[in-house]
Every structure is written in structure tokens, then in C-alpha cells.
Amino acid sequence: MTSEDTPLRAAVLGSGSWGTTFAAVLADAGCQVTVWGRDAATVQEIAREGRNTRYLPGIELPAGVTATLDAREAVAGADVLAVAVPSQRARDVLAPLADAVPAHTVVVSLMKGVELDTDQRMSEVVAQSLRIDASRVAVLSGPNLAREIAQRQPTATVVASTSDATARLVARACASSYFRPYTNPDVVGVELCGAVKNVIALAVGISQGRGMGFNTMATVITRGLVEITRLGLALGADADTFPGLAGMGDLMATCASPDSRNHTLGVHIGRGMSLDEAIVATGGTAEGVKSSRSVLALATSLGVDMPITSAVVQVLHEDLPVEHLAGLLLARPHKAEGV
């Protein structure tokens, strides 16, 4: 670990909206940051002009941000490595870099998902792919819509790691006047909140696309938090995580904001688009589309009931007519609220 007085070097894998935004956060916190991306035009624009007009139009990036097409160059010498690639592609991106990541580097996952086929959380994928100990991995999650943060609107987040030193280093790397990190040892709970809230946001978006109002939205959000909590507790998470920033905080932001891709895609589905049409219209990765299946598979393997998640999977992947969604959500056995 570096001393408190030593400027940190950071790398960000992923030049989309969240990766570029987090690079700006790191730079505003005093880090020298290198962004890696696959798209040559985007990388060149970040490096030469301090902009990413494809994903963050109108935003000027801090001077401390540069970019490269060479992932090994990006991670060389990094104290902090942030991973902001689509969750289902993470293993393919990270595995070739296992021998390039310095031994002192801590890795923070910005990804929100559960891997298909393995049901692994993203921190597990990171540790396994890079062949590093879990104590060197952190996850970051909270009410963190990229565009608002890129505009330097105040927000808070949660940095979770099994190692307090790792969590504190990541928090130090990203703390600024507008970005407030809190540390938390509950990696499982923080990570599951980030993954499942995208699925709930899809359900909210679908219902709003069908013309339903705030009562329905509040119902889906509240019962969605119950689903997230059930799954988290079954995996040993801390109950206190779920009403906090990574739980209810992130869930509210993602379900209510038109800047949320998962909410937006859900609205398109609710208005009658096919999944392929909705993905194109949304214009970016909506992690909940693929994660919905892996989250449901994980829940099923644990015997955890997740009716909202199940309904989203049926609409997106099993050809359930979208007009049947509301009935499926509400046609549940009568029981006490806390059950």
C-alpha cells in the first residue's frame, strides 16, 4: 500500500459512460488516471481532447485523465485498477492481464451483475480472472448515475472489501468535494444490491411504459428491496446493508431516473418494443437484461423466492406478453408483509 502523501496512479478498464466518469472522479481526487478502451476514436478523443462525446456529451474531463488502446500499458504501475466493462465480458478482458497487474495493485469492481453459467459475483470473477487474493478486491456501489456524477453533482457511494486497508485505499483514491465514499466489509450484500437493482429497475420501467403510475412504482421498488434482501441474507450478507446507500439508495436512483439504462430499456419494452429493438433504442449496456437470468438461477439454487425477477425473465427471455407482467406481480398468495 502507498503512503497517504504519495499521489496514486489509477487505471480504468472501460471507456463507456461509467468508466469515463469514474476516471474523472479519480482525477478530481488527485490521481493520475489512464483509461483503456477498445474504440480507437473514443480513446483518441479522451487522450487528445479531454472529452468522450459518445458517452458523456458536453462534459470536460480533468487534465489528469489520459487513455490508451493497450490494456497492459494502462495497468502498468497502477495502485488502483477500476474495472468498468460489461459484466458478462469481464473474464475475457481480465484473464489476459493476470501477469500484467502489479503485485501491490488493488482492484475495484464497478460492475453490476452476476456471471452467467457460474453464478459468480463480479468480485469473485475479478479475483479468479486476475489470480489475486480476495483481500485485494473491492466493489463500489451506490446511487451513482454516471451523468450526474460527471456534472459533479454531490453523491455518496459504498466501497466494500474484506480488507479494511483495501477499502480505505479505494476510498482515498476517489474521495472529493462531490463524491463521498463510505467503507463497508459486506462485499456480498453491496454487490448483490448492485446486481439485482438493475432487474427491479427493468420491472419499474416496463410498468411505466405500460402507463402505470407512482403507486405501482413504489410497490415494485419496495417489494424489490425485499427480494434483494432475501437473496442477500441467504448468502450471508449483513441485513444493515439493504436499507443503506448500496441498497435502497441505489435502487431508488436506478428505478426513478430517466438516465438509468435499465429503467429506459424497460420503458421501451413496456411500450411494445422487442428486446432487440429496446437494446438499440437504449443505446448502451443495460446490465439487468443478462443478469436477470443469472440472478434468478442463483436464487433458484438457494430456494429463494423472487417473483419480480422471475417476471422480468419471463418477459425478456421467455416470450411472456408484456401486458401480463402486472398480473404476474400481484397474483401472489396473501401473506404478511414482512414474509
Is residue 36 part of an annotated ligand binding site?
A: no
The reply, when asked if residue 148 is annotated as ligand binding, is: no
- Of the candidates 41, 10, 38, the one whose C-alpha atom is nearest the C-alpha of residue 25 is 10
Cell of 4: 497517504
**Ligand-binding site membership of 55 (annotated):** yes
Q: What is the distance between the alpha carbons of residues 149 and 29, in angstroms, rounded to a whole number?
A: 13
Q: Are 194 and 139 in contact (CB under 8 A)?
A: yes
262 is in an annotated binding site: yes
Contact (Cβ atoms closer than 8 angstroms) between residue 67 and residue 98: no
Catalytic residue among 9, 168, 197, 293: 197
Beta strand extents in 103-229 (DSSP E only): 106-109, 137-141, 155-160, 179-184
Residue 290 is a catalytic residue: no
Backbone phi and psi for residue 165, each to the nearest 5 degrees, phi listed first: -65, -40
Cβ proximity of 289 and 202 under 8 Å: yes
Cβ atoms within 10 A of the Cβ of 128, count? 17
Cα-only R_g, the chain: 19
Residue 197 annotated as part of some ligand binding site: yes
Q: Find out whether 18 is annotated in a ligand binding site.
A: yes
Q: Is 182 labelled as part of a ligand binding site?
A: no
250 in a labelled binding site: yes
274 is in an annotated binding site: no
All three cell numbers of 309: 425477477
Binding-site members for sn-glycerol 3-phosphate are 112, 142, 197, 250, 260-262
Residues annotated as part of the active site? 197
Binding-site members for NADPH are 17-18, 38, 55, 112, 146, 261, 287
Binding-site members are 17-18, 38, 55, 112, 142, 146, 197, 250, 260-262, 287
